[in-house]
Amino acid sequence: MKKIVARWHIREIISVSLIAVLLGCIFTLSDWLYTFVYGLLSLVGIGPFVGEILFGLWCMGGSLAFMVVRLPGAALYGEIVGALVESAFGGQFGVVALVAGFFQGIGSELGFACYRYRRFDVRSLTLAAIFSTVITFASALFIHGYIKLHWSMLLALFITRLISNLVFSVGVVTVVQRLLVKAHVLKHSISQKEG
């Protein structure tokens, strides 16, 4: 474990912090979009789907942070700092964003840990997205009162959340990582995976 901790340097901390701050600003903007669209769709009874459609966007911080610095803890750190920025900039979820960021980060970390933090590809991103979806949905049963919903609604919300997370945390993160590699911003290549 000492070897892993020793690999965290100021460069990695700054890199993850910059990603988290940028995404935290995007999260804040998405909160306003969420509020507006939720209000409209609640009139026809499908308001909860708005958060599920945007869910993957809110999980990108952890996946992108890990793919950039490739160190244990990057996903959790990225999600928490992103949520902190979201709250500080007036995101409507306040302290709940920090709780959500924690669960999102833990879920992603578990996915990357399954490959012992040695795979940096779509496979590891997919597993991280699945874990973060399951863990955050379990927390939403109590935090957002989903436990009171009919099982068919729960299933529809879960599937929507999973698809959103796969699109954003796997698809968009992969595209962003490729763009960063092409721009020579990252010190590693796309094909670099050890597992």
Predicted confidence pLDDT, tens digits, the chain (195 residues) = 444 444 899 999 999 999 999 999 999 998 888 888 888 888 887 888 998 999 999 999 999 999 999 999 999 999 999 999 998 988 778 888 999 999 999 999 999 999 999 999 999 999 999 999 999 999 999 988 899 999 999 999 999 999 999 999 999 999 999 999 898 888 765 544 544
Q: Given this model, what pLDDT does residue 34 score?
A: 86
Compute the half-sphere exposure of residue 121: CA atoms within 13 Å on the CB side of its CA: 10
Please say whether the beta carbons of 16 and 74 come within 8 A.
yes
Q: What is the dihedral sign for C-alpha 43, 44, 47, 50?
A: negative
pLDDT of residue 2: 44
- Token pair for 141: 């049963």
Q: What pLDDT does 24 receive?
A: 93
Q: How far apart are CA 28 and CA 45, in angstroms?
A: 24
- Tell me how many helices (H) and strands (E) the chain has: 8, 0
Predicted confidence at residue 187, as pLDDT, reads 72
Q: Determine the Cα–Cα distance for residues 157 and 4; give it in Å rounded to an integer.
A: 37
pLDDT, position 104: 96
Global confidence as pTM: 0.88
How many whole angstroms from its chain centre is CA 63?
6
Query: Cα–Cα distance between 173 and 57 in angstroms, integer?
Result: 10
| CB-count burial class (<10 Å; 0-12, 13-18, 19+) for 75 | buried
Measured between alpha carbons, how far is residue 145 from residues 140, 141, 142, 148 in Å?
7, 5, 5, 6
The DSSP secondary-structure symbol of 167 reads: I
pLDDT at 5: 44
Local structure of residue 121 (DSSP, 8 states): S
pLDDT score for 35: 84
